């Protein structure tokens, strides 16, 4: 075991091994959390900025022109994106689809201090299931749909998530958006093929670079894909 790392929980899931660990930031007396899936880094508490930006870039263009916003989030993570969505007072409901029971439990418990007890907000509905299965099975419509289940459209946590970034799913998500609705996707790196796919499916699409911090507290960059259906972004 690395000297600065404490494994809090390790769980065998139907999709692989999930590990929650706590680490001490080098040179600082501060601990952070990381989630590792099948030995690959998945998410960390120090990526709060970009995860909150993911919600702000989806909901912000709508908040000044709509009331009673309905939001769908694919991937709960540590709850930063959910927290940012709930901080918009015009948000009426946030439905979160998360495939892993462990992540839901951690977000409700150990991460609750990080996300401001977001899971306990009465506007939140948590669903333990696959996001792709949900979008093809629901007939609800949403003002904003937010996706963060992988490290990006070519760096999957699960091979089955590949379909989420394909044309058929992008069209389905577009059809679930109310007029002018916004779709955002978090990514660790840019993917030109996905950018082109978005532009073919949505009336307007763009890639936004957002600044975050790495484990040492140094600036790093991530990317948010944003697309909108039938109304110009503000």
Question: For 83-119, how does the pLDDT look when each residue is reduced to its tens digit (9 = 90+)?
Answer: 999 999 999 999 999 999 999 999 999 999 999 999 9
DSSP assignment, residue 94?
Answer: E
| Rounded distance between C-alpha atoms, residue 170 and residue 158, angstroms | 18
Average pLDDT taken over every residue of the chain: 92
Going by C-beta distance under 8 Å and a sequence separation of 6 or more, which residues neighbour residue 74?
Answer: 97, 131, 134, 135, 145, 146, 147, 148, 149, 164
What is the percent of the chain where pLDDT is above 70?
95
Q: What residues contact residue 14 under an 8 Å CB cut-off, 6+ apart?
A: none
Q: Which helix (H) or strand (E) holds 221?
A: strand 219-228
pLDDT digits (tens, 9 = 90+) for 197-213: 999 999 899 999 999 98
Q: What is the pLDDT of residues 175-185, one digit of tens each?
A: 999 989 999 99
Residues 6+ apart with CB under 8 A from 159: none
pLDDT attached to residue 231: 54
1 pLDDT tier (thresholds 50, 70, 90): very low
Q: How confident is the model at residue 234 (pLDDT cuts 50, 70, 90)?
A: very low
Taking every pair of Cα atoms in the chain, the longest distance, rounded to a whole number of angstroms, is 53
pTM, 2 dp:
0.93
Q: How far apart are CA 207 and CA 224, in angstroms?
A: 6
**In Å, what is the CA distance from 21 to each residue of 28, 110, 112, 124?**
17, 11, 16, 26
- Quick one: average pLDDT of 122-147? 97
Tokens 């946590």 correspond to what residue?
157
The tokens for 219 are 């600036």
């Amino acid at each position: 075991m690395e000297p600065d790392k404490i494994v809090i929980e390790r769980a065998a899931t139907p999709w692989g091994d999930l590990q929650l660990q706590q680490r001490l930031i080098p040179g600082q007396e501060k601990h952070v959390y990381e989630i590792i899936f099948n030995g690959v880094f998945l998410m960390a508490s120090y990526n709060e900025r970009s995860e909150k930006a993911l919600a702000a870039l989806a909901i912000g263009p709508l908040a000044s022109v709509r009331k009673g916003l309905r939001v769908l989030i694919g991937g709960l993570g540590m709850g930063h994106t959910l927290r940012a969505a709930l901080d918009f007072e015009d948000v009426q409901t946030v439905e979160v689809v998360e495939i892993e029971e462990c992540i839901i439990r951690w977000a409700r418990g150990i991460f609750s201090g990080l996300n401001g007890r977001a899971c306990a907000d009465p506007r939140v509905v948590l669903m333990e299931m696959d996001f792709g299965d949900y979008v093809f099975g629901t007939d609800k419509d949403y003002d904003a749909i937010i996706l963060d289940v992988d490290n990006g459209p070519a760096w999957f946590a699960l091979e089955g998530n590949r379909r989420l970034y394909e044309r058929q799913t992008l069209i389905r998500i577009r059809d679930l958006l109310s007029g002018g609705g916004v779709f955002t996707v978090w990514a660790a790196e840019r993917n030109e093929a996905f950018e082109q796919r978005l532009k073919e499916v949505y009336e307007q699409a763009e890639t936004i670079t957002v600044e975050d911090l790495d484990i040492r507290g140094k600036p790093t960059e991530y990317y948010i894909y944003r697309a909108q259906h039938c109304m110009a972004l503000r």
